[in-house]
Amino acid sequence: MKTQISTNRRPVYYSLTDAAWILGVTRSQIHRAIRTGVLPVIRRRSRLVVSADALTRLLGTTDGAPRTNGGAL
């Protein structure tokens, strides 16, 4: 899947696998976070993706740099 890039060269959305890697958790934890409403997703064609904005809000940063939280969702 090609990742759409915004004008500031950051991806607009991430696959669930990429989101899990960025957050430092497993895919099953990503699916649990989606089910419980912690992580909002978007359906792009037939795939679920996570918006870059949602990941930034979840990480609690404004500059896109991940905070160190030990991989907890």
Domain map of the chain by residue range?
13-59
Does the pTM exceed 0.85? no
pLDDT band of residue 70 (cuts 50, 70, 90) is: low
Query: Long-range pairs for 43-52 at CB < 8 Å and ≥24 separation?
Result: 44/13, 47/1, 47/15, 48/16, 49/13, 49/14, 49/15, 49/16, 50/13, 50/14, 50/15, 50/16, 50/18, 50/19, 51/12, 51/13, 51/14, 52/6, 52/10, 52/11, 52/12, 52/13, 52/14
Question: pLDDT tens across 19-69, in order?
Answer: 999 999 999 999 999 999 999 999 999 999 999 999 988 888 655 555 555
pLDDT band of residue 15 (cuts 50, 70, 90) is: very high
